[in-house]
Amino acid sequence: MTNPQPGWYPERPGSPVVRYWDGSRWTAQTRPADDSSPWEVSLDGAPDPERIREQQRQAGVGQVGQGGGTLFTEPVLVVNQRVKLIELANEYAVFDQHGRQLGAVVQVGQSTFKKVMRFFGSYDQFFTHRFEVRDAHGHTVLRLTRPAKIVKSRMVVERGDGTPLGEIRQENAIGKIRFAFEVGGQRIGGIQAENWRAWNFSVTDHTGAEVARITKTWEGLAKTMFTTADNYVLQIHRPLTDPLLSLVVASALTVDTALKQDDRGFG
């Protein structure tokens, strides 16, 4: 039998704890099983490398130079939201240009009240949301917090150990949405939506030069009709250093939930 895909699995049937399987072995990383909900119905099958490459082609991104094999050293990241018929917490898988999974993004700390509010409408967009970006071994490399909002959104970005990195702050609520990368109150770059629907983004440094691009890809008719799952491709044009690199990666991995305009309001 082939090994299961990397992911979080129960240690035993009915276990209150899930452990991360990296594709070949169990890691030391565990978390409570109730981070997910039994109400959620997943429509995902095993990740298909050819499907990942097709999404990259849809984004107009060809095969580029070889990267270092991690979330922060690859020139192309393909972000797939886990497809659920009923979705109460967001989950994403992140792949390189060859279809190899590099990590995942998991929404954490969702209370039962928040899940109920999300089930019955879009009210949860006004609550605080927290995400963990985990590498291929299940280690948390970034912690992302989107505080409760009314109109404009912001994302607080920290390293896995909780060290502050900066913020991604929405600058306007009308027209083509813009976000600023801020560190210590200083703007070091930003994101510019290419249309009012904010599907695609140009990512710039402090001079306004484009350093990366985020492109939404077509997820298929069935998924579009029956789910809200989105897929994005990030292409980084040149090597970047922190904190800009981490803010660029964080923005691409959470653009669907935290940054783009929600179809039911402002996201």
Look up the domain containing 10 and give its range.
Answer: 1-35
Q: Based on the fold, state whether residues 101 and 142 are members of the same structural domain.
A: yes
Range in 114-118, 209-213, 250-254 with the lowest mean pLDDT: 114-118
Q: Based on the fold, state whether residues 88 and 20 are members of the same structural domain.
A: no
Residue 46 lies in a domain: yes
Q: Based on the fold, state whether residues 157 and 197 are members of the same structural domain.
A: yes
Classify residue 33 as left (phi > 0), alpha (psi -120 to 50) or beta.
alpha
Smallest CA-to-CA distance from 104 within 119, 112, 94, 96 is with: 94
Which range is most confident: 86-90, 199-203, 216-220? 199-203
Q: What is the DSSP code (8-state) at residue 252?
A: H
Q: Based on the fold, state whether residues 51 and 89 are members of the same structural domain.
A: yes
Residue 204 near residue 188 (C-beta atoms within 8 A): no
Residue 195 lies in a domain: yes
3-state secondary structure of 158: strand
Cα–Cα distance, 16 to 78 (Å, whole number): 31
Q: Based on the fold, state whether residues 104 and 163 are members of the same structural domain.
A: yes
Q: How does pLDDT run across 136-178, given as a tens digit for each residue?
A: 888 899 999 988 877 788 899 999 999 999 999 999 888 888 9
Residue 91 lies in a domain: yes
Tokens representing 35?
Answer: 């981070």
In the predicted structure, residue 84 carries a pLDDT above the cut 70:
no
